[in-house]
């Protein structure tokens, strides 16, 4: 089997289950709920994956739009849609080319997604484009630590992580990405996730306003 077919097989058949298992942890539940606590209006979630955020949207949120480039995520996503009763406008698309008009959404949500976007700067431009004036981008991401010793290990492990994590990088500097984005107002806090190796658990949480 050609390498490209093997990788596609892994990406669409194996990785969705691994992703669902390892990201569906009690440590992340509180973070997801806090991240989503204020979202309202027209909402887009980029990199929806298997829909792990769906149970944590506020009760008043009954409809969202989503994008994800991996068709293998759809089976588990559909189950969560049925369980939560949220109406989902599901699109198979990349964040670098969002299939929505300008000024469409009040909120765009990204949870552990920027690490896997190949052209993340372009994705930020697209997220900014589809937000309404005054709209907010809310994010919860892992990425590059502020500790040089941890950074060294993140970069050493990156080649392995990118294979196992279907393109996920450990050394994404979310603060730098947002600083170079079109967003004018950005709020970020950093912390290490409890009971998680520091190479994988350095978290960026915050929001950016258009």
pLDDT of residue 186 exceeding 70 = yes
pLDDT of residue 184: 86
pLDDT tens per residue across span 87-100: 999 999 999 999 99
Helix (H, G, I), strand (E, B) or coil at 203: strand
pLDDT of residue 2: 52
* CA 162 – CA 40 distance, rounded (Å): 34
pLDDT of residue 5 exceeding 70 = no
Domains defined along the chain, listed by start: 3-209 (3.40.50.150)
pLDDT of residue 51: 98
Burial 70-103 (b: 16+ CB within 10 A, else e): bebbbebbeebbeebebebebbeebbbebebeee
Q: How confident is the model at residue 4 (pLDDT cuts 50, 70, 90)?
A: low
pLDDT tens per residue across span 187-200: 999 999 999 999 99
pLDDT tens per residue across span 136-149: 999 999 999 999 99
Helix (H, G, I), strand (E, B) or coil at 187: strand
Longest dimension (CA), the chain: 50
With beta carbons less than 8 A apart as the criterion, state whether 94 and 122 touch: no
Give bridge partners of residue 105 from the DSSP assignment: 131
Closest CA to 45 of 37, 34, 33, 57: 57
Q: How confident is the model at residue 42 (pLDDT cuts 50, 70, 90)?
A: very high
The whole-number average pLDDT for the span 96-120 is 98
pLDDT tens per residue across span 150-165: 999 999 999 999 999 9
pLDDT of residue 3 exceeding 90 = no
* CA 38 – CA 114 distance, rounded (Å): 21
Any idea what DSSP says for residue 57?
S
Task: Provide the strand spans (E) within 69-171.
Answer: 87-92, 105-111, 131-142
Return mean pLDDT, the chain.
95
pTM assigned to the model: 0.95
Strands 87-92 and 63-68, bridge-based pairing: parallel
Going by C-beta distance under 8 Å and a sequence separation of 6 or more, which residues neighbour residue 188?
174, 175, 178, 204, 205, 206
Q: What is the dihedral of CA 143, 148, 154, 156, to 10 degrees?
A: 150
The whole-number average pLDDT for the span 165-171 is 96
């Amino acid at each position: 089997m050609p390498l490209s077919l093997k990788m596609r097989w892994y990406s669409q058949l194996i990785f969705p289950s691994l992703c669902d298992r390892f990201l569906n942890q009690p440590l992340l539940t509180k973070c997801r709920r806090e991240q989503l606590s204020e979202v309202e209006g027209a909402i887009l979630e980029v990199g929806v994956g298997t829909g792990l955020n769906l149970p944590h949207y506020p009760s008043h949120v009954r409809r969202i739009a989503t994008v994800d480039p991996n068709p293998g995520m759809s089976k588990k996503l559909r189950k969560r849609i049925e369980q939560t009763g949220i109406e989902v406008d599901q699109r198979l698309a990349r964040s670098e080319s969002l299939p929505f008009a300008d000024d469409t959404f009040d909120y765009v949500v990204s949870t552990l997604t920027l690490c896997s976007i190949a052209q993340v700067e372009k994705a930020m431009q697209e997220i900014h484009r589809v937000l309404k004036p005054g709209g907010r981008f809310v994010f919860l991401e892992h990425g590059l630590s502020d500790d040089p010793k941890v950074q060294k290990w993140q970069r050493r492990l990156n080649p392995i992580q990118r294979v196992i994590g279907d393109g996920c990088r450990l050394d994404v500097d979310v603060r730098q990405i947002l600083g170079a984005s079109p967003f004018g107002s950005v709020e970020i806090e950093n912390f290490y996730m409890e009971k998680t190796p520091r190479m994988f658990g350095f978290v960026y949480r915050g929001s950016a306003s258009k």
